[in-house]
A and B are shown apart, each in its own frame.
Chain A
Amino acid sequence: MNLDFSDDQKFLQEEARKFLDKEQTLSRNRSVLENSNKVDKELWKKIVDLGWTGIRVPEDYGGLGLGHLELCVIAEELGRFLAPVPFSSSVYLFTEAIINYASDEIKKDLLPKLVSGEVVGTLAITESFQAPTSENIETLTENGTLNGKKIGVPDAEIATHTIVVCKTNNGISLQLVDLSSSGVTVQHQENIDESRGHFSIAFENVECELIGDDGSGWYLYESLINQAAVLFAYEQIGGSQASLDMAINYAKERYAFGRPIGSFQAIKHKLADMYVALTLAKSNCYYAAWALSTNASDLPSASATARVSATKAFQLCSKENIQTHGGNGFTWEYDCHMFYRRSKLLSLNIGSLSNWREKLVTSLEQSNIN
């Protein structure tokens, strides 16, 4: 029985934490948010130089050839410090899609560049103010050209490439697009967490390349986010822990009625509930990390379980951290709102809480939990 990370993985996590702390990542997040920079290119370059973009890329393609567990510990730290970089878009989604689904030719071309930072990727799926489904995707590929419009695409400005979930004659497919191609228009869309820029992308007769089988795109997309959900969940528990730590520190230092507010049961019980939610989420993340790293047959339910509990934990911890800080928590000056914003961003990227609850129950029906 060993549901724990190895000493090497813990060391990697420790180093990642030290690095992101030294880089004053939280201040960087604030700066991107306040100046509408959409991304911190300098921090991103340093992260690329550390090799994190190549963790899962096989050595043959210039990566480190490590496993998902290494990615999980990095994700937790990126979440803890709210790193304003396109890591989730480029690594959990785009790079994983290339590793899993692309032809060897594309792999040979893109993977080394993803490692070196020359290529940054994202995933474009949403088209309107509702959840995307295999039924409502309108973006169309015919004869190798793509037409349509995607909205709310994270990190599309720094990205050089995107995978587009679109319709073809055979159903839903994944198409690879070079964002410097003619006919592509990327436009900034303001969003709730401006530390991570979101964009619309219009495609007008854009050249594209099929990834995976034509018509199997929805299945590939679902498999991709079932994996990515574990990594998003790790970012979420990192953010939950940071929110809880902030609330604990404030509750110890802030006095009211002649005593630290952390001595009041109303505050204690609130913080205890945050700890409970975080502990449940963290333990589910451990199991999901194992399922991801071994491609276990119960990965769909394990990842949905981690995703649902981590989303709930981060939403609870970030909102109650504001509440614990009282009026100060509502100010722009305090960092509380940055966690609140990021909790919403992470809970919506790759799909909402209610949709992940639905995925979880569906996977339980399929595996018949009794």
Chain B
Amino acid sequence: MDFNDTPEQAKFRKTCKEWLEKNAKHKDNASKEPSFANKDILEEAKLWQKKKYDAGWAMLHWPKEYGGIGASPIERIIWANEESKFDVPKGIFEIGLGMCGPVMMQYASEEQKERYLPPMAEGKEIWCQLFSEPSAGSDVAGLRSKAVQDGDKWIINGQKVWTSGAHFSDYGILVVRHDPDLEKHKGLTFFFVDMKSPGIEVKPIKQITGGSSFNEVYFTDVEIPDSQRLGEIGDGWKVAITTLMNERLAVGDADGVDVEDAFRWAKTQDSLGEPLLNNKAARSSIADWYCEKSGLKNTKLRTMSALSKGDTPGPEASITKIVSAGKLQDIGNFGIDSLDMAGMLKTDDPDIKKFQMAWLGAPGMRIAGGTDEILRNIIAERVLGLPQEPRADKGLAYKDIPSGNS
């Protein structure tokens, strides 16, 4: 066991570091709140992405012809590790690059890849993912937006929801139902769509945090050329699964306050005349959060070790979001509670704001990219090998599946 890079890895890390030192600022404690609605942050993110693209760092694991440098998985992690030490914009391109990119790479024509992948990597064109619908969340294959073929094009009608970044996206990947007479999973087809197409309307959704990072997207007689179909007609679910697998890797850790913030806060915050850190219950919670945080960090190190040796990592990484989103919620709550009655009040104090934002934002983290419950099902079925739950919609044509009032 050791934590050393191999000589090649050390050399690569040095190259990353040197470039970052020249082109970015180190993180300080006054990190700003990310917000999709903020135009400045969008511009800043695009500038940073372009800078990275020009130097080959934007999508370093992609082949050269699409703007990458053909980096190995371990090099990709080394880069991410070094970049995370710098104060750079994040949160804008993750969905496009993490989910739409891989699908285009796998299913688009050569010509389309050459046209769309480089501007995606460069940050010139932003992509979003149009899967969930008002009546299809965890059961996303139950979606009902319709696609009807009309010669060499398709006509789309329906509604998507929870679409992060749709309001500033140029393109989106879309899964829709082409045949409601087939079984649920069999009647789906996958496309990519120009978000400026006539008939698309984007309406931001106000979240419990007060911010708006995602949207409702309405489709009214939207035309998509058949050439923008990804995979065969009826292969929509198979293509979507590729994307969802990538989503789980892309979502990962819940950002926000963590045990270090709780610890620092507890050292100075008063609790009935002494520092909160002297309180037994506070100490017990901090110990448990520290164990969770270290557990996730060390799990990542084990994954990296496997990649570093050229092995396939085990399923350990599947636990990340369940653990980190729950911890985020509890730590937010801990900070607010420590203020007693005044915890209700909004304030400019950046520490208190961070706890309040974590508490308000964590419920979203426990749902986005697979709810706590769906993730537990995935662990139980794919990792532990437990049988699937019998389904009430098995063997039924989509149109005959009970849907309640939704």
Contacts and interface: CB of A to CB of B under 8 A. Distances in A.
A308 B383 CA distance: 25
Interface string A223-258: 000000000000000000000100010011000000
A275 B287 contact: no
B263 interface: yes
A335 B267 CA distance: 46
Given A280-B296, A290-B1, A369-B263, A4 B283 contact: no
Contact of B286 (A259, A273, A279, A361): A361
A360 B287 CA distance: 6
A281 B260 contact: no
Contacts of B322: 276
A267 to B, nearest CB: 8
B137 to A, nearest CB: 16
A357 B210 CA distance: 37
Nearest to A307: B291
A271 interface: yes
A289 interface: yes
A358 B260 CA distance: 16
B61 interface: no
A265 B377 contact: yes
A259 B390 contact: yes
Nearest to B316: A279
Interface in B298-318: 298-299, 301-302, 304-306, 308-309, 316
Most buried by A among B287, B299, B302, B323: B287
Contact of B386 (A4, A5, A268): A268
Given A263-B387, A273-B376, A3 B305 contact: yes
Interface in A311-370: 312, 354, 356-358, 360-361, 364-365, 369-370
Contacts of A272: 375-377, 379-380, 384
Nearest to B261: A370
A275 B298 CA distance: 16
Contacts of A276: 319, 322-323, 379
A309 B291 contact: yes
25 contacts: A1-B74, A1-B304, A2-B4, A251-B386, A259-B387, A260-B386, A262-B386, A265-B373, A265-B389, A268-B376, A269-B373, A272-B375, A272-B384, A275-B384, A280-B295, A283-B302, A284-B291, A284-B298, A286-B1, A287-B298, A305-B294, A357-B284, A360-B287, A364-B263, A370-B264
Interface string B214-229: 0000000000000000
Contacts of B301: 1, 3, 283, 286-287
Interface in B376-399: 376-377, 379-381, 383-390
Interface residues of B, number: 52
Interface of A is mostly: helix
Interface string A1-14: 11111000000000
A254 B137 CA distance: 31
Contacts of A248: 384-386
A69 interface: yes
A280 B389 contact: no
A151 B136 CA distance: 62
A369 B290 contact: yes
A2 B2 contact: yes
B5 interface: yes
Interface of A: 1-5, 69, 244, 248, 251-252, 259-260, 262-265, 267-269, 271-273, 275-276, 279-281, 283-284, 286-287, 289-290, 293, 304-305, 308-309, 312, 354, 356-358, 360-361, 364-365, 369-370
A273 B385 CA distance: 15
Given A265-B373, A280-B323, A286-B1, 17 more contacts: A1-B3, A262-B380, A263-B388, A275-B379, A275-B384, A276-B319, A279-B295, A280-B299, A280-B319, A283-B301, A284-B298, A286-B301, A305-B290, A308-B287, A312-B291, A357-B283, A357-B287
Contacts of A287: 294, 298, 301
Interface string B1-43: 1111100010000000000000000000000000000000000
A331 B96 CA distance: 55
Nearest to A281: B295
Contact of A1 (B5, B323, B375): B5
A166 to B, nearest CB: 29
Interface string B61-103: 0000000000000100000000000000000000000000000
Contacts of A4: 1, 302, 305-306, 309
Contacts of B2: 1-2, 290
Contact of A279 (B259, B297, B299, B306): B299
Most buried by B among A276, A281, A356, A358: A276
A110 to B, nearest CB: 30
Nearest to A259: B390
Contacts of A273: 376
A150 B9 CA distance: 54
A3 B260 contact: no
B288 interface: yes
B292 interface: yes
A275 B385 contact: no
B239 interface: no
Interface in B229-255: none
A252 B292 CA distance: 29
B257 interface: no
- The 6 A-B pairs at the shortest CB distance, nearest first, are namely A280-B295, A268-B380, A283-B298, A357-B287, A272-B376, A262-B386
B277 interface: yes
A5 B2 CA distance: 10
